[in-house]
Structure 1
Amino acid sequence: MVIKKNSTTKTSKVNASRPITPVVVDLEEEEKNFEAMEDVRNALLNPDLIICDEGHRIKNHQAGVAIALKSIQTQRRIVLTGYPLQNNLIGK
């Protein structure tokens, strides 16, 4: 299943023919629409891997994006960012 989202349409679910399909989510838009974020979270139950772009946005553990990402059970997380970070995501 693929969750498609753009700024002019609602979230739609599309059946995919491949057994492993990536899910791409614009977190800025999804944070504005908590109900859609719940649908995305339910679609992502126990993935093996999460790749998070704009990783500097999750440095604040109380931010909506960080809370949503923490609620997803996964074995591995990869954080991408162009913003300079310290060695860990917990600020000093």
Structure 2
Amino acid sequence: MNVALHIGGTLAGLAWIPLALSAPGMWKLAVLLFPVVHGAPGILGHRLLERSADVGDARWRRKDHSPWLFIAANHRLTFERLLGVK
């Protein structure tokens, strides 16, 4: 279920981009809401399902890896699972 939430968030974030670009008067709101649309399902999955004590619920706050690494990992996970590629 956690993986499904990550994939759903990634796909929702990717779908959000053209939606935001099609509403030029709302771009500021669209930019502010993008992290919520893209990241909230994955964070919710960690919070409700994983609860790993050694890592914690908010992995994106870790300082040992770049935040971009977590975004790239979500996109890689989605690509691998949807296309069956490893």
TM tier relative to shorter chain? under 0.3
The answer to which structure has the higher strand fraction is 1
TM-score, normalising length: structure 2: 0.23
Greater share of helix? 2
